Structure 1
Amino acid sequence: MTNATIDLVRLAAMDSVHAARVLRGVRDAALSGQRPPVEPRPVIEESWGRMLRGGVDPDRDVRNGLLSREELEERRRSSGLAEVLPELRRGLVSIADAAQHIMVVADTEGRVLWREGSSAVLRMADGHGFELGADWTEATVGTNGVGTPLITRRPVQVFSAEHFVRTHHNWTCAGSPVTDPRDGRLIGVVDVSGPLDTMHPATLALVHSVTRLAEAELRTRHLTTLDRLRTTAVPLLAGIKGRALVVDSHGWTAAVTGMAPADRIALPKSFGPGRAWLPSLGECRIEPLPGGWLLRPDESEDGRPGTSATVLLDLSSPRHWTVTVTGDTGSWTHELTPRHAELLYLLAVSPTGSTAPALAGELFGDPGRAVTVRAELSRIRRYLAGLLEGRPYRFREDVDVRVTLPDDPADLLPQSRVRTVVRARRGERV
């Protein structure tokens, strides 16, 4: 093998001992600052860089304390993953057991909530600290099939010495993030792991496919509950004069009267009965309903946050990003998906604006995907009503836009491949 980038298909063609030896050579060279015989895969090289900057010990297995049984059960109840556990079991457990693997399900903080599969492999996992309630974030155990997908927001397979910590080199794992289709938030990671001689490049595709089925199950359940709420909402709205709508707890619209329908209203994290300012609706009276909320906008409001507004784009965390709007009528915070965080960053660093083709070139390397960009920006404008303009897309001139960046530029949106973001991570001017 020459100085090409390593790939899992070529590794799988070798016997596991040879493949592990090749990867150890790559890792040792990378950690010593030498040119490796084969370039590591980009996702692995970037993860190793995060470990070196974060001070993770490559030669010592460091573990945080396990969750108590009470904490574990509470996380299981609140994670949202319990709803799709039967789907994950149907798709993975029997296959993992037969292939001498285990299935592991972790939450957004990398805590192992469930694990099932081969009893022999479960005992091996205990030796690695891969136990119920364990912390498997990158910052604790280095590059791995749970923590790395949490950072990259994409499926990742890690084989042998691609694990940053040496004590995990007899292990292979493939993990895929799970996103809740109701609000776009990451809710956890599903991982299939086992001894290094069980590695197969198709494992990752299998895990990713099963997580997509689990997300589809969440989507189906959501539509069912929305239909149930609509049954309550329609007769209720029939007796109301003026503008009103009923939404579920995630802001999806069940029924509307006196105004144009919207698929979804962005709701702040802290939300309850009383009064609140909401994007696109303005000041609203809020009343609770079984499974949702009745929203009654004030007729004098136009949905704008006021004559002046401050937009704070908080990208300081490598995993969670928010936008906060503060105006004359109040303050409101919304958690961002990775794509929306990228788009708002591009607009924030380009005050004169950008066209849809130019943004598509940044996001996808293909200006022809402008339609996709316009669709995403339409979704963004639902919660930044009146603050974004088009042709070109930009923030209004009277809006004070501020961006909070990570202390280390290399931690800026680590999952992103956008050229402007990559340059910023390198410390270059954008």
Structure 2
Amino acid sequence: MARPLIDASWRRVAAAGVDPGGGPAPAVLPDAEVARRVGAGPLAPMIPVLRERLEPVARACGQLVVVTGVDGRVLWQGGAPEVRRRADGLGFVTGAAWDEPAVGTNAIGTCLVLGTPVGVHGGEHYVDGHQQWTCAAAPLRDPVGGGLLGVVDLFGPARTAHPGALALVSAVAALAEHEVRAAHDRTLEQLRRVAGPLLARLDGRALVLAPDGTTAAATGFAGPARVVLPADLDGGRPVLPGLGPCRVEPVPGGWLVRVDDEDAAGVATHAVLDLSGDRPRLRVTAGSGSWTDVLGLRHAEILLAVAGAPGGRTAAELAEDLFADPSRTVTVRAEVSRLRRAVGPLLATRPYRLAEGVTVDVLPPVGPLLPGSVAPVVQRARAALPAHGGAGGADGRAIMQPRGRTGAPGERDRGAL
């Protein structure tokens, strides 16, 4: 009898239309794009640690160590050359997609879905051609924000399976996260030495942020632990999530942010969940400015579910929307907590819902909606989309029906988008 996590995975990939006999794989990313993601992506500081600690083990055991991004794309491989040549025949190459919708049940794809360490051995793989292999994968998380960044995996012929593989890969993943966190803390401590004299001269609410938005120091209020900063921030007077209108100027190693309390009434009230590009984005507009945040897949799924439910969602209902499993409330609460740190006052709780007066439009793609997702809420939204889009937006693209929170928090609405 299959383990419950394997049975659930097989159901997901069957619903996604994966062919057990193997089908055409998605196009492999160009080498230049892989190099860009490795060099400038969030996993860049972790890969050297993973290489140092796991590649010698992989070589000695006749396996590969593989690092993928949060979308399941293979970014780096190392280990036994003969195993790498065999893996090439599976299409398991740098730049390939190895998530569940692309290649069925495997440790990487299933780990990305569950967010926990996963081992998949032999016949537990969904695709017939993968059943001569074994793999053990662990999630790689942002040690500061907690978001999922990717996966590290040990992969090899089934005969090389070892009962300690999953524990090993999990321990090394934790070590990589710890070393990145330690380096971040050293940088933050240097910034605090700069921040102290600056903040001592200021009245009102102000804070000094690291380039990733982590708060180094604050005055006038406790300040959030982290602020989502626009990718193109260059100072000026942006509207920042959780803070509202601000005056921002660069300081050595970060940003000085002064909150414009007199303009606090200009709180963001309208958002567009833009699913039309290569990555989901949330664009929020207020009378005094706007900001944009690039979302991970899970956070896009959460916003899609909440935007379609004016009465809100309980943790159990949201777990059903995301995982088809209402018992996974702990995972839901953790993911929503991370999302609320990014989007600030847009989301309310008990139940999870759009805050009073907030409206959200959903801008779908021309092709499949969130193609990497197997969440039930996304599958329902795909089925509800007209063949050629809905009402046109200002730029001529389809806008799904906007939703605002207009009812009382206790009201329920399970209608599809």
TM-score by length of 1: 0.71
1:239 aligned onto 2:201: yes
1:352 aligned onto 2:275: no
Shift of 1:229: 1.0
Match of 2:161 among 173, 195, 199: 199
Partner of residue 235, structure 2:
273
Higher helix proportion, which one? 1
Cα deviation per residue 1:197-226 (whole Å; 9 max; x = unaligned)?
223455334323322322222222221211
How many residues of Structure 1 are paired with residues of Structure 2 in the alignment? 384
1:58 aligned onto 2:18: no
1:28-427 matches, within 5 Å, as 41-52=7-18, 58-59=21-22, 62=25, 64=27, 67-68=30-31, 72-136=34-98, 141=103, 143-150=105-112, 153-200=115-162, 202-302=164-264, 304-305=266-267, 309-314=269-274, 321-336=280-295, 340-341=299-300, 344-353=303-312, 373=333, 380-389=339-348, 394-403=353-362, 413-414=373-374
Shift of 1:351: 2.0
1:3-14 matches, within 5 Å, as 4-6=1-3
Q: Distance in 2 between matches of 1:201 and 1:310?
A: 51
Maintained 8 Å contact 2:369/2:378: no
> What secondary structure is seen at the aligned counterpart in 1 of 2:37?
helix
Shift of 1:248: 0.8
Maintained 8 Å contact 1:245/1:295: yes
Q: CA RMSD in A?
A: 4.2
Q: Distance in 2 between matches of 1:116 and 1:202?
A: 19
Maintained 8 Å contact 1:303/1:386: no
Partner of residue 35, structure 1:
none
Maintained 8 Å contact 1:149/1:176: yes
Shift of 1:195: 0.9
Amino acid in the other structure paired with 1:44:
W
Amino acid in the other structure paired with 1:260:
A
Q: Distance in 1 between matches of 2:226 and 2:383?
A: 37
Q: Distance in 2 between matches of 1:96 and 1:398?
A: 54
Of 291-300 and 132-141, deviating more is 132-141
Q: 1:202 to 1:402 in 2, by over 3 A?
A: farther
Shift of 1:399: 2.4
Q: Distance in 1 between matches of 2:41 and 2:194?
A: 28
Cα deviation per residue 1:52-97 (whole Å; 9 max; x = unaligned)?
3xxx6834565745744x5554433213334223432454334333
Maintained 8 Å contact 1:273/1:286: yes
Q: Distance in 1 between matches of 2:106 and 2:351?
A: 41
Q: Distance in 1 between matches of 2:141 and 2:241?
A: 24
Q: Distance in 1 between matches of 2:200 and 2:229?
A: 24
Shift of 1:293: 1.0
Q: 1:199 to 1:49 in 2, by over 3 A?
A: farther
Amino acid in the other structure paired with 2:255:
W
Percent identity, aligned pairs only?
42
Q: Distance in 2 between matches of 1:193 and 1:312?
A: 40
TM-score by length of 2: 0.73
Cα deviation per residue 1:340-360 (whole Å; 9 max; x = unaligned)?
556545543432345679879
Amino acid in the other structure paired with 1:168:
H
Q: Distance in 2 between matches of 1:320 and 1:71?
A: 15
> What secondary structure is seen at the aligned counterpart in 2 of 1:251?
coil
Of 57-66 and 273-282, deviating more is 57-66
Maintained 8 Å contact 1:60/1:167: no
Shift of 1:337: 5.4
Q: 1:190 to 1:391 in 2, by over 3 A?
A: closer
Q: 1:41 to 1:353 in 2, by over 3 A?
A: closer
Q: Distance in 2 between matches of 1:137 and 1:343?
A: 19
> What secondary structure is seen at the aligned counterpart in 2 of 1:287?
strand
Of 332-341 and 280-289, deviating more is 332-341
Q: Distance in 1 between matches of 2:341 and 2:122?
A: 45
Q: Distance in 2 between matches of 1:380 and 1:109?
A: 18
| Structure 1, gaps ≥5 residues long | 9-39
Q: 1:199 to 1:423 in 2, by over 3 A?
A: farther
Q: 1:147 to 1:51 in 2, by over 3 A?
A: farther
Amino acid in the other structure paired with 1:120:
E
Q: Distance in 1 between matches of 2:64 and 2:125?
A: 18
Q: Distance in 1 between matches of 2:37 and 2:350?
A: 45
